[in-house]
Chains A and B, each alone.
Chain A
Amino acid sequence: MTDIVRLEGVTKVYQDGKVAVPALRGIDLVLQKGEFVAVAGPSGSGKTTLLNIIGGLDKPTQGSVYLEEKRLSAMTRGELSRLRLNRIGFIFQSYNLIPVLTAFENAEFVLLLQKQPAEERRQRVGNLLEEVGLSGLENRFPRDMSGGQQQRVAIARSIAPEPALVLADEPTANVDSQTASELLDLMEKLNREKKVTFLFSTHDPAVMERSRRLIVLKDGRIAKDTLK
């Protein structure tokens, strides 16, 4: 198996006024292609910070992050933006979708930024929406969809460009447990069938259950890393 993400001695210290807030205190971590990983831990343990650093949205104070063997800290803002566009999918907790675009257009958005040809976009997005169970809702706007449906669109959007890694910060935090379980079914299926690598953070024990690898953070350190 190939390494997709590698973190070496990553620390992150936020400066909150005059107080230094350590969020990560030395993380060594390797993610491999096709993994289905959950990051758990109490509030403030550093889950979001970890995901942001892996996604190139934030820079570590110390240590290195490699994505597909490329060192993120060596990249410019533009290169990071291109990396996110082509290699990383993002799913956020809420308000994920662009409100003025339909389900189809939202899922298509990243492909448009990549300047994929129209036919290619139409086919890929059509298939994906079917796969996430949204056939017939292509022309709905986010405000006319349930939270679960919106997250399905977000999932479709995140995997549309076939990224190396999908980062999801508490993707199920805003939906009921039934919907959460269905979203997990979906991500699991995509992981199994399309070999999409997922890294998601969660508070929910039921969600942790479903992961195949569980990383528990505590005070900015990896307290437990179990492979099931």
Chain B
Amino acid sequence: MLIIKLAWRNLWRNKRRTIITISSICFGLVLALVFIGLGDGTYGTMIDSAARLGSGHITLEHPDYRSSLLTRLTLQSTGEVTKYFKEINEIEGWAPRILGQAMLSTSYGSVGAAFIGVDPEREKENTLFIDKITEGSYLEHAEGRGVLIGKKMAARLNVSIGSKMVITANNLHGEIAAELLRVVGIFETGSEMIDGYICQITLKRAQTLLAMKETEITQLAIFITNQRATERIIEHLKISLSDANEVAVLSWREVMPELASYVELDGTSNYIFQIIIFIIIAAGILNTILMSVMERQFEFGVLLCLGMKPHNLLFLILTESMLLGLLGVTVGTVMGLLCNQYFTVKGFDMTLFTGENLDISGIALDPILYSDLYPDHLVITVVLVFLMTVLVGIYPAIKATRSEPIETLKKGK
């Protein structure tokens, strides 16, 4: 109690210095929290967009499909599998799909393409493609012959809404099959690959084309409300589906390894940047505490003369840096959260810095970044900054205990 009282009052002896130190801790923490929050938000958005444009946050497919990409490796038990989804609240929707390679031809020419057979009703709730449609509309009739193509492909085939084209592919029997299609919509995602290579047709049309049974699909894309829950839901599904054979449960990390490693790598470089900020701030705190200790050598001498134990002096200085850290961290956390809140609502306009649109591994990013600080990142950062201030106090504290009481009386003259 005595030590805390002494430490607290000592802190306010040099108000200006203390406030400057607290501000620097605060500044560092706010900076770190904003960066981490924006990072978390950006990665979250990227992952979410990629999942909604691609195969969902979680993908169910035949265990061997990914390695061979053979169309005949299908999922048969959709109805059986989807009944487990009801017990998981985070599952927002799911969509059956058929994937394949094909040739699209018009009188103008032919191009290779990847097609996705979809159930329009199910897709509407989850896919981002709908938002990317620039002309026409999304697929409507489950039985229809509609096709949705990218802007680049439309240019290559010289087609527009209403144009006819033929899709040709190898069916499950190894025969060449063809279907007539009509362009109903044109989308633009900003990605060269998606806009120039991918087309969507209805699930029924894809099954007819490939001579598949009505129950057969290539993959089941699952969309969840919060991408952070992916791993947990996968664990859950793996247990529920352990009896069903021939079903692999994959996360977006496995389906989009480039994105996963990008997020990881960029996150690491973010941390390195923050550690550098922390070190600079730590040096400032060390300087402050060391200075205040050096100034008080005489006083420490008096305390030791009076019979205070050296280790009590150590605690005194450590308590001072702890209080300093506590104040800085408290104010910093509040301000950091407020800043994050601001960027969560208003966003952070990257065009101020880049001047143009962002494109990371083929996924066009919204140039306005939205913050979404993960609670565990908040806790780690706050604890780290606090520990740092305490750690920095150790050296000056040890220095203080080295004061010899004898020096006191000498300097007292």
Q: Which residues of B contact A77 (CB under 8 A)?
A: 310
Q: When chains A and B are docked, how far (Å) is the Cα of A48 from the Cα of B10?
A: 30
Q: Which residues of A contact B305 (CB under 8 A)?
A: 55, 57, 84, 90, 92
Q: Which residues of B contact A84 (CB under 8 A)?
A: 305-307, 405
Q: Which residues of A contact B304 (CB under 8 A)?
A: 81
Chain B interface mostly helix, strand, loop or mixed?
helix
Assess the A95–B298 pair: CB atoms within 8 A: yes
In the complex, what's the smallest C-beta–C-beta distance from A60 to chain B, in angstroms?
13
Q: Which residues of B contact A86 (CB under 8 A)?
A: 307
Assess the A98–B6 pair: CB atoms within 8 A: yes
Q: Is A99 located at the chain interface by the 8 A CB criterion?
A: yes
Assess the A95–B309 pair: CB atoms within 8 A: no
Q: Is B299 located at the chain interface by the 8 A CB criterion?
A: yes
Closest to A110 in B: B306
Assess the B413–A101 pair: CB atoms within 8 A: no
Task: State which of A51, A83, A96, A169 has its C-beta within 8 Å of the C-beta of B302.
Answer: A96
Q: A73-110, CB under 8 A of B: which get 1 and which 0?
A: 00001100111111000101111101111000000011
Q: Which residues of B contact A96 (CB under 8 A)?
A: 302
**Given contact pairs A84-B305, A84-B306, A48 touches B9 in the complex (Cβ within 8 A):** no
Q: How many A-B residue pairs have CB under 8 A?
A: 71
Q: Is A58 located at the chain interface by the 8 A CB criterion?
A: yes
In the complex, what's the smallest C-beta–C-beta distance from B393 to chain A, in angstroms?
18
Q: When chains A and B are docked, how far (Å) is the Cα of A112 from the Cα of B312?
A: 12
Closest to A55 in B: B305
Q: Is A113 located at the chain interface by the 8 A CB criterion?
A: yes
Q: When chains A and B are docked, how far (Å) is the Cα of A25 from the Cα of B310?
A: 32
**Given contact pairs A48-B413, A85-B307, A98-B303, A58 touches B406 in the complex (Cβ within 8 A):** yes
Q: Is A191 located at the chain interface by the 8 A CB criterion?
A: no
Assess the A48–B410 pair: CB atoms within 8 A: yes
Interface size on A, residues (CB 8 A): 31
Task: State which of B2, B302, B405 has its C-beta within 8 Å of the C-beta of A95.
Answer: B302
Assess the B306–A93 pair: CB atoms within 8 A: no
Q: Which residues of A contact B409 (CB under 8 A)?
A: 48, 51-52, 57, 92, 169
Q: Which residues of B contact A78 (CB under 8 A)?
A: 309
Q: When chains A and B are docked, how far (Å) is the Cα of A95 from the Cα of B309?
A: 20
Q: When chains A and B are docked, how far (Å) is the Cα of A96 from the Cα of B10?
A: 16
Q: B298-320, CB under 8 A of A: which get 1 and which 0?
A: 11001111111110100000000
**Given contact pairs A98-B299, A99-B13, A100-B10, A82 touches B413 in the complex (Cβ within 8 A):** no
In the complex, what's the smallest C-beta–C-beta distance from B196 to chain A, in angstroms?
73
In the complex, what's the smallest C-beta–C-beta distance from B122 to chain A, in angstroms?
70
Q: Is B49 located at the chain interface by the 8 A CB criterion?
A: no
Residues 97-151 of A contacting B (Cβ, < 8 Å): 98-101, 109-110, 112-113
Looking at B303, B308, B409, B412, the one whose CB has the most chain A CB atoms below 10 A away is: B409
In the complex, what's the smallest C-beta–C-beta distance from B8 to chain A, in angstroms?
9
Residues 51-102 of B contacting A (Cβ, < 8 Å): none
In the complex, what's the smallest C-beta–C-beta distance from B52 to chain A, in angstroms?
60
Q: Which residues of A contact B292 (CB under 8 A)?
A: none
Q: Is B408 located at the chain interface by the 8 A CB criterion?
A: yes
Task: State which of A52, A58, A85, A170 has its C-beta within 8 Å of the C-beta of B306.
Answer: A85
Which B positions have Cβ atoms within 8 angstroms of A?
Answer: 2, 6, 9-10, 13, 298-299, 302-310, 312, 405-406, 408-410, 412-413
Q: Given contacts A48-B413, A78-B309, could you give 15 more A-B pairs where the C-beta distance is less than 8 Å?
A: A52-B409, A57-B409, A81-B310, A83-B307, A84-B305, A84-B307, A84-B405, A92-B302, A95-B412, A100-B10, A101-B9, A110-B307, A113-B2, A113-B306, A113-B307
23 A-B pairs whose Cβ atoms sit less than 8 Å apart in the complex: A48-B410, A51-B409, A55-B305, A57-B305, A77-B310, A84-B305, A92-B412, A93-B412, A93-B413, A95-B298, A95-B412, A98-B299, A99-B299, A100-B10, A101-B6, A110-B307, A112-B2, A113-B308, A113-B312, A157-B306, A169-B409, A169-B412, A170-B413
Task: List the 4 closest A-B pairs by CB distance, nearest first.
Answer: A85-B307, A100-B9, A84-B307, A57-B406
